[in-house]
Amino acid sequence: MNINIIEDELLKSVIKTCDLLFVTIPQNLTKGDLADAISSSTGNEKENCIHVAILKNEKNEEIQIIEANTTEGVICKPLKSFIDMELKINPSTKFYVKRIKYSNEDDIKRWINEAEKHIGKKYNFTYISSEDSLYCSELVYISYKDKNNKPIFNEIPMNFKDKEGNFSLYWIQLFKKLNMDIPQDKMGTNPHQIMKNENLETICELQKNDLCKGIKYYHC
């Protein structure tokens, strides 16, 4: 089913606040950038998740995302402009919307309020927990907790090695610049891991519609 513009009421009726937007790229993409480094370290499929953002869909407003990115830190921006930018960087990018099963209005209010508290923080390039900076899946991890304040998503030992067991040049250069060891096996999260979490159900896939210069979605 096609959606002519991102603000279309049909799309707004599909997406709910606190749905998660996952960004994937083909596994064989080799650009030597952060997206490629994340994909080679955390994914092992034909398309690997490199980014996750929190969706916000308020009445009479354009759909927004709350994300942590490397250039702006934790920000809130329109979903449409985010998708346009990502596709300019890589036309092969895909976008999936997923939702936490069995969530209620109290959960959603608690999660979005927590996420918004962190807007304005810097991006966490060290990937080690910090009070004043966050990376994308870390924002999700600390925002989504149950009523007992227990995180819904688990931390796992972080991996920065590719499938051959080597660190990519990106990671080597980044942590050399930060004057720290690569935090291999330290506890943390990544977008691919969260995307595969059994607590999530897939709502739809968003794709660029070049004919109407908008977004189309498919129920998955």
Could you report the per-residue pLDDT of 134-153, keeping only the tens digit for each?
A: 999 999 999 999 999 999 99
Strand pairing report for 156-157 and 64-69: unpaired
> Of the candidates 87, 91, 107, which has an alpha carbon nearest to the alpha carbon of residue 99?
107
Nearest-5° angle of CA 70, CA 101, CA 82?
25
Residues listed for the chain: 220
Distance CA(157)–CA(138), nearest Å, equals: 13
CA-CA-CA-CA torsion sign (26, 28, 29, 34): positive
8-state DSSP, 161 = B
- Interatomic CA distance for residues 56 and 77, integer angstroms: 10
CATH code linked to domain 2-219: 3.90.1720.10
**What are the sequence ranges of the domains in the chain?**
2-219
pLDDT digit string, tens, across residues 29-52: 555 578 878 887 877 667 889 999
Query: Does residue 126 contact residue 180 with C-beta atoms inside 8 Å?
Result: yes
Residue 22 has pLDDT above 50, yes or no: yes
pLDDT of residue 220: 44
* Backbone dihedral region for residue 93 (phi beyond 0: left; psi -120 to 50: alpha; all else: beta): beta
User: Does residue 77 come out as left (phi exceeding 0), alpha (psi in the -120 to 50 range) or beta?
Assistant: beta
Global pTM reads 0.90
